Amino acid sequence: MTRRAIYPGSFDPLTNGHLDIIERGLKLFDELIVAVLVNQEKKGLFPFDERLTMLREAIPSPQVRIDQFQGLLVDYAQKTQATAIVRGIRAISDYEYELQMALMNRRLAPHIETVFLMAGEAYSYVSSRLVKEVFQLGGSITGLVPPIVEERMRQKLDKK
């Protein structure tokens, strides 16, 4: 049986912290579905299509499927026959929210397990939000995001 897990998130944009979780998640699961949450209320910096494109370009692994979803994550997990949800924990501040989500998801779908991976030391302070903020203020984000993401960030900023 294929062990398939979903790694859901906003990925606005993808960071090296996300990539680290994906790499390590692949050691536990045969297949990972990196799923971008389509949230019409929270538009973000990159349109959803562009986030998917960047993910596809940065993660060529055949074990990783890039997709998007709307609605309940557990419904999407059932539809894709995934048995686990992977999330990353950077600090205690992540834990509170993640625990709530994991317990709610367990209540909704008891057979789907949430698996938490601790952030890599090198990336534990990296968030999409902070990367965007630093970049928009002219700081360097080299090494924090994949080069193709940095390139698209630069294009976006130049356009403004």
Residue 51 near ligand ADP by CB under 6 A: no
Residue numbers annotated as active site: 18, 42, 90, 128
- The residue among 123, 158, 113 whose CA lies nearest residue 138 is 158
Confirm or reject binding of residue 24 to ligand ADP (CB under 6 A): no
Distance separating alpha carbons of residues 154 and 86, to the nearest angstrom: 30
Q: How far is the CB of 90 from ligand ADP (least distance, A)?
A: 5
25 belongs to the binding site for ligand ADP (CB under 6 A): no
> Is residue 1 helix, strand or coil?
coil
User: What DSSP assignment string belongs to 129-140?
Assistant: HHHHHHHHTT--
Q: By CB under 6 A, is residue 76 in contact with ligand ADP?
A: no
Q: How far apart are CA 136 and CA 132, in angstroms?
A: 6
The size of the interface with ligand ADP (CB under 6 A), counted in residues, is 16
Smallest gap from Cβ 56 to ligand ADP, in A, equals 16
Among 22, 66, 88, 146, binds ligand ADP (CB under 6 A): 88
User: Which residues have CB under 8 Å from 78's CB, separation 6+?
Assistant: 109, 112
Q: Does 21 bind ligand ADP (CB under 6 A)?
A: yes
